[in-house]
Amino acid sequence: MSQNASTDVLIIGGGVIGLMTARELALAGADVALVEMGGTGRQASWAGGGILSPLYPWRFAGAVNALAAWSQRAYPELCQALFERSGIDPEYAASGLLILDPEERAEALAWATAEDATVEEMDIERIEREEPGLATKTRSALWFPDVGQVRNPRLTKALHASIAPDVHIREHEEVLQLSVENGRTTGVRTTAGEIQAERVVVCTGAWTADLLGKLGRKPDIQPVRGQMILFHAKPGQIRHMSLLRERYVIPRRDGRVLIGSTLEDVGFEKRTTAEAKEELYRTAIEMFPLLKRTPIEDHWAGLRPGSPSGIPYIGPFPEVDGLYVNAGHYRNGLVTGPASARLLADLLLGLEPILPPSAYGLEAPRP
């Protein structure tokens, strides 16, 4: 594709949402290109934890949980397909989630009954059997055995490699302006030239409001920084994902253990801080004292696309024909990604949508 090029559908943004959206459209036979200001999968998609469930799902709106439930069913087959096509294993694992906060037990159980989700109550004896390294002060916990995880950097690499033969991917190229003529999109202007497109899908995460605001409508998406640390632990030391006071512990297949994540309203300042590192470390060793003898391997930050109630914007941009948005997933981009991509593709291609789309429209009220 030359500097001044054309395509049927142009995806702006190469995170997990953009990559999955490009994949869905390419599988449907569309001519698709993707442009990303950095490297694909290197922003929030890389920085997150990879838990395939909203944290404390009963706190979220039905619109978020509907996307999550559809995606949870899709993930095992999706990861297998990506592995077979790319040779890169996203490391999907149904490792289960242990929620140690006892205060909302009644709400959690009521939600699980209403949503037909599998949840079990664990007493202290079973907790000690299932997760012997956990030093919890609670006498009971909620166990979600079906909750899985992916290793998100590997997932985004697998997505990139899988779509590369069918989607023209332009990295390190920033979109400066959305081009509109007579109320219809005509493409974009980038740092490398013009790209003409019949349809454009904005999947730019925390940067979406700035880009769309130039057209007069600014979706309520704000950057929210999150910091994480990574321990170089051994396989089997920690068996399951655990959640306590908004902090989660995620064991990877190779033994590494992630601890996250902070919630910081600092604009687009993506840097790590010593204070956050210390707070995450204290939480980690409080939950798993064995980590006190384990070296910290890494510490990083990412910018989530925060939105009201965490409900993403998925659908057509009202004032411009041919312009679509798939952004604002806040902390749940990975778990809602497959459904968000399919729903956007359904709407763009005029197919029967997998979910009622009204809750995700740019004009839909957010609770």
Taking the C-alpha atoms of residue 214 and residue 177, their distance in angstroms, rounded to an integer, is 8
> Based on the domain organization, do 211 and 333 belong to the same domain?
yes
pLDDT digits (tens, 9 = 90+) for 5-26: 889 999 999 999 999 999 999 9
Same domain (yes/no): 347, 238: no
Split at pLDDT 50, 70, 90, the class of 2 is very low
Q: How far apart are CA 257 and CA 151, in angstroms?
A: 11
Residue 321 lies in a domain: yes
Say yes or no: 126 and 137 in one domain: yes
- Residue 210 within any structural domain of the chain: yes
Q: Are residues 178 and 210 in the same domain?
A: yes
Same structural domain for residues 277 and 233?
yes
Nearest C-alpha neighbor of 203 from the set 7, 363, 24? 24
Please check the confidence at residue 1 and state whether its pLDDT lies above 70. no
pLDDT at 364 over 60: yes
Q: Check if the beta carbon of residue 302 is closer than 8 Å to that of residue 44.
A: yes
How do residues 22-73 score in pLDDT, each as one tens digit?
999 999 999 999 999 999 999 999 999 999 999 999 999 999 999 999 999 9
- In which order are the strands placed within the sheet that holds 140-144? 120-123, 140-144, 97-99, 241-244, 247-251, 257-260, 222-231, 296-306
- Structural domain including 109 reads 97-145+222-306
pLDDT digits (tens, 9 = 90+) for 73-107: 999 999 999 999 999 999 999 999 999 987 888 99
Is 189 a member of any domain?
yes
Please indicate, yes or no, whether residues 228 and 302 belong to a single structural domain of this protein.
yes
CATH code for the domain of 105: 3.30.9.10
Q: Looking at the structure, do residues 26 and 119 belong to the same domain, yes or no? A: no
Using alpha carbons only, give the angle 247, 330, 255 rounded to the nearest 5 degrees: 40
Q: Domain for residue 366, yes or no?
A: no
Q: Check whether residue 179 and residue 211 sit in a common domain.
A: yes
Does the N-terminal peptide bond of residue 261 adopt cis geometry, omega within 30 degrees of 0?
A: yes
CATH of the domain at 182: 3.50.50.60
Among 267, 282, 306, the domain boundary falls at 306
Establish if 178 belongs to a structural domain: yes
Is 90 inside any structural domain? no
Q: Are residues 246 and 300 in the same domain?
A: yes
Under a CB-based contact definition with an 8 Å cutoff, are residues 236 and 202 in contact? no
Asked whether residue 251 is assigned to any structural domain, the reply reads yes
The answer on 208 and 115 residing in a single domain is no
* Structural domains in the chain (count): 2
3-state SS, one letter per residue, for 92-104: CECCCEEECCCCC
Report residue 137's pLDDT band, with 50, 70 and 90 as the boundaries. confident
Model confidence, pTM:
0.96
pLDDT tier, 3 (very low <50, low <70, confident <90, very high otherwise): low
Of 75, 54, 77, 78, give the one whose Cα is nearest residue 66.
54
Q: Could you say which of 267, 290, 306 is where a domain stops?
A: 306
Alpha-carbon distance 347 to 350, whole Å?
5
Percent of the chain's residues with pLDDT above 90: 92
pLDDT digits (tens, 9 = 90+) for 324-352: 999 999 999 999 999 999 999 999 999 99
Instruction: Examine the pLDDT at 163 and tell me if it is beyond 90.
Output: yes
Claim to verify: residue 211 and residue 183 sit in the same structural domain: yes
Q: How far is CA 32 from the centre of its chain?
A: 22
Claim to verify: residue 125 and residue 241 sit in the same structural domain: yes
